[in-house]
Structure formats: C-alpha cells, structure tokens
Structure 1
Amino acid sequence: MDTEKDIVYLEERIIESDESEKDDVLNLEGEIGAEDGYSSEKSDEQNEDDPSTLFAINPVISLRNFKGQTSGEELDNWIIYADSVEEFLCNVWEKSKKYLVRHIVAVCDEEGSINYKWSSKEVIDENDFVHFALFYDKQNRRTITVDRITTKILQNWRTKSSVELLLHKYSLTVNSKTVWKKVEKTLIDTIPKNRGGAATTEYAQELARELRLKHGHIWNGHEIAWSIWANTILTAPIHQHESLKNDSTPPSSCFELFSMIEGEHIRRICREYRVAHNINDGYQEDVKKVMDAFRAIKEVHQSQTLQISASERHLDNLMLRSQLGESFISSAELAVNVKESDFSTSISTRVQDSEDIDHMI
C-alpha cells in the first residue's frame, strides 16, 4: 500500500516491549481519561470556576525521543502566564514548537507488519501539539494530554512545583524504546558518518549524482556545484532531506554556479514571445494614434468650453446693464411727473390753426 489512504495512524497502539525496557519506562499509570476525580486537593479558599484568575504555572521541561524515556534532556524551567486554558496552551506551544521536529506515523502493510514514516505534513502547527506533548503531575502520578487541560487543573497547579512538561520531538507515536530503535534506524540515523560526525564522502557523492539525475535536465553545472548542493542538504535536519532533494531549484549558496539548460521547447517559446512582442508593438502604435486624436479633441473641447464660458459672462453683463438702464429711465420718468395746469389749458384753447401760405402750391 503506497498511497496516503493506506496509512493507518496508530498513535494509541501499544507496541510490545522486551523485559529490559521496563527499567526505562516512567510510571505513567492512570492517564487521565476525564476531568472527574483528578485531584482531591483544592486551592485555599479560591473560586475554581472563575475563568479570569491569572495563572502562573512553572513546569519542568523535558525533551524526549520516545514516550516513557527517563534520560531525556531537561531545559530551563518556564513560567507560563495566562488568564485561560486557551491562552495557557497557546503560550506553551509558542515556547515548545522550536524543539519539535516532525510527526512520525505508523503504517501497517499488507502482511500486518508495522513500519514508520514521516507524516506528509512537513510543518507542524498548534493543532498538532496534542500529538507531541504530555503534562505529568509528579505529586498525583498522573499524565494529562494537552486536550484534557482544564481551568480546575491549572488552578490546582498554581500551588505546585512538581508539574513536568514532556515534549516528544518525534510525536507520541514513538511510544516505546523498541519503537524508537526502529525509527532511529530507518528515519533518523540513515546517513553513514565518518569519525568527525559528518556524512561520508561516498554518501555525499552519491547524493550529488542523485541530484544530477533528478534535476540535470533543467540545470547545468560543474561537479563542484552538485557537491555543494548535496552538502547543503546534508547539513539540514534529516526530516527535511526528502523535500529538499525534490526541490528543483538549487539552494542560494550555490545558485550562481548553475545555469538553466535551454531546450528546444524553451527556444520555441522564446520565438513565440518575440512574435507576440511584434504584434503587441503594432497594437501599441494604433493605440497611440487614437490617444493623440483624443487629446486633440479634448484640447478643442476645452477651448470651446472657455469661449462659451466667456460669452456667457459677457451676456450676463449686457443683461445686467440693460436692467440697470431701464431702472434708471423709469426712476427719471417718475421724478419729472409733468401735469397741465388751468392756465396752460386756457392758453391752449386760444391757439388757432393758421393757414400755411408758405407751402401752398
């Protein structure tokens, strides 16, 4: 079964251990399955239902290669401040993530044998934290998973200094020393090394040849360039090697040592691009002509707009002058107010028509 559908996650499956392993296993009896009955101890006169209480938890941090290991590396104590369970777990994750490597999953083949491989998810996130961490309360001899942490538990831990955070670098799937030896042999310690702890020259050369076969149709470079590419991969964490080998772009440390191979399809594409450039250049000339014509029309329109505005202002001025003249004339007419008197009327009645002798024919 080669596909991801055939992968069976067996994180909860217990692999049988030989008798010599018993001395190395922590007494993890009574892993908590529910919140009920966790502890009979209570904080002094504190309200355990108050979610706004400020927690300050001081766990001892231990790194583990497998679940139950007793000789793992211990880190400096952390003080985790939080106002809620969510904030507490988020803060723990932020401090823990740099120590976690990658999820290992168990795979059951057609014959029923269990093998181990790296998960297809290369970068873990906060949602995966439950697969890597355990809290161990030494006083109550109880182990609690990340998803079972409650406000009541945090309130209880505020008065304790015997809480331990167990970080499993390769996930809780590696649940015994037997499984760890198998994982270490097949996934972790797969590179032959010299006395100095570095990969052997033969292995590095073989990896360089593998890279040339995989990417030689794209990149052209001297032997030293492929060797630098190989050594760059070998200096990376082992769980990243496979993805780095499949990456078709050389690392930045040797990128300038390679040049792309220009195949026939590349040359054909370049010719097609040149044709496209010529067609586009002709199109741009037409666009330029239309743009020039538009700008000329725009200038004429702006000139006409200015002339229309000037004529409109002139007409407004003439209209105003006409109104002022009419008002002045009316005012003068009213001021004169000529009327006939009795004397002028009597004089007018005395005027008689005279015969026009000067214009007689």
Structure 2
Amino acid sequence: MAERVEQFHNLVQSSGEKIHFLLESNRALFRAELSSEEWKAYVEYIDEMVIDGFFSCIECSLKFFLDNTDQRAVVAPLLEVQLVLQGPDMVFFPSQELGAPDSLFEMVESLINDVFKMSSLVPRLAKHSLSPHYQADMESMTDLADMRHLLMERVKAAMAVCCGFHNSLEHYSYLYVDDRKEFMHRFLEYGHIPTSPDVEVFSDSEVHESTPILDSFREQIDGYEKLYEEVQGLEAVHVFHGWMRVDGSRMKSALLNVIKKWSLMFKQHLIDHVTNSLSDLEKFIRATEAGLSQRVEEGDYSSLVEVMGHLLAVKERQTSTDTMFEPLHQTIALLKIYEQELPEVVYKHLAELPEKWINLKKQAILVKQQVASPQAIEVSSLRRKCALFDVEQHAFRDHFRRDGPFR
C-alpha cells in the first residue's frame, strides 16, 4: 500500500512539473507579460482546471471508499483486521480502540490524508494565491469534507462492532489469564474447585486437605473437552457491516491449544499418579524383600532393628496398598476413554505387583515369627539395663545427698 501511494505521488508530482513546463512554454510562445491581465486570466483558467482535476481525483478516491463501506451495496470486505491471543488478552491488529496510535481509525485517516496530500505536490500556478499549493482548497471544499466525515463515521461504527465482538469472547479469558499450576494446587488441596466460601472457611483451619476423587477429575476433563468442542464450533472469520472482515483463526487456534493444555494437565496428573504409585510400590517391595531376607543372629542388635523397621513399614503401608489397585484400574480405564496411553511398564507392574505384595505380606508374617525370639531377648536385655540404670541412679542420688557440696 505504501509503495503504491508513493508511486501515485511521484506521478502527480511529475504531472505538476509538466503542467508548469507547458504553461511556461505557452507564455513564451504567446510572448505574454507576467503582469498582463490577459495572462493572469489565462493562468486563473488553468488554475481552476487543476483544482477541478484534483477535486475529481480526490472525490473518486473517497467515492471508492464510500462505495465499499456501504452496507447496502458492498459485495466483498474492504478491510481486514486480525484478532490474536497475545499475552494476557485478545488484541486486534490493527487496534480497534479509538485514540490508540496504531488503531484502524488512524490507519484509514492516514490513507485519506495521503489522498488529500497529493494536491500539495503541485506548486500553485496562480502566483497571487496565498497558498503555495492546492491542498488548502481541497480541505475547504464542503462536498469532500462531508464524504470524508461520512467515511470516518463508518469506520468508527465498524470499530465499535468489533469491540463488541471482542467483549463477547471475554468469558473465555480465564483460560489464558488464570495460572494452571496454582489452579491445580488448589484443586488438589480442597478436593474440588475452591470457591470463596471454601477459602474463608479453610483460612482459619489447619487441616483442610481433601484428595479429589476420580469423579472430580472426570468432571474437570469432561468440562474442558466440552469447551473444546464449543470453541471449535466458533466461526473463525466474521464480516461486520459487509466490509469489515475480522480474521480470528489465529486466536481460535491459540484458544483451542490453551484448552488442550488445561485438559492435559488433569490427564497428566492421573497418568503420573498411576505411574508413580506403581513405581514407588515396586521399589518398596524390592527394598523390603531384600531387607527381610537377611538373617538375624542372637545379639545382632543392628540387624534386628533394621528388620523391625521393614516390618513396621509393611504394617503402616498395608491398608493403603491393599486398596490401591482397584482405583488404579479405574483411573487407567478413564484415561483410555480419553485416548491416553500409558507406558508398557505400568501394565506390567499392575499385573505383577498385587501378587508380589501378597507374597511380601506373607514374608513379613514369617519374618515376624522368626525374630520373635531375638526380639524377646532384646526386650529382656533392655529391661535389665533400665533396672540397672535405676539402681545406679538411686545410688548416685544417695551419695549426692550425703556428700554433696550444698550439704
């Protein structure tokens, strides 16, 4: 656009130079005096022709814009703006806000100014005129001013409609404004989407954690899947007033991508939960089996303590581990609905670990029986040591009372 405007300006400027050359040639041929009334009248006549020419040219340009912004007659969009997702907001390029330096209004106004500016590229033929060129004459013509005003009012109206369209999409703003990590943290903390009453109630409570159930995750994922379909059904391109085209394809793609990230966040948490739960259990079983396999000789206090630690760990973990496999199966089934594949090692662990866990509990029972005797011996030994310590303590107290420095 800028190149074409410059080319047109160059053409007007060269035409003006040619007019001045021809006028001077005629003066020489007519042997006219610059101060003669006849020559002045002739120059005035040519000057009026140039004014008429500029008027026709500017009128033609303005009429082109008006014809292509007339809702009743326009057949194709004249201008296009891009609606994109940038930073924490959806923005137009060019901007649709009045007063913005890069707005559509400023752009169209600049184009119209360039149209009028061409009349300043030809020096005035009538030397007695106060203006050095013809732009002031064009600016003062009522017909051109009315056409210019009508065009700019149409631009304002179209910009207002675009802003209204932008506002209609504001209810999606939480998708790209809210922090996903913070949202997930609160979701896991409260067991559901926290509301203001939740925050107020739990602010004074130390215990408020509630692990979300699988149905809560399903509800969240289904909500984003439904929202994805809703946004996917939105028209990417809108035409307002017949001549203003709003291309929102980039915004739509970015919004769909953001929705996928929200949905994937919950799916990934479930995947990580299944994977980590089975991996942790596999490591625990392997380490505990090795720890319980060592022999405990009579008097080997460190080995006994280590084995007792493993037995305690099995006891503490028994309730949660006995009930973990069925929920994991349900979680995997839910992930399959959303076409989320898990690593092969997960299915391998899920097939092997229940039996390994049962064997580990049996091993723990046998080991508990085996260490019962060394444990009883150590208990007796500790009791003897405690009794001996009490005897020594009483003896020291009697000695202190009898021979102490404050006697």
TM-score (structure 1 length as normaliser): 0.24
Larger Rg: 1 or 2?
1
As a proportion of its length, which structure holds more helix? 2
User: By percentage of residues, which structure has more strand?
Assistant: 1
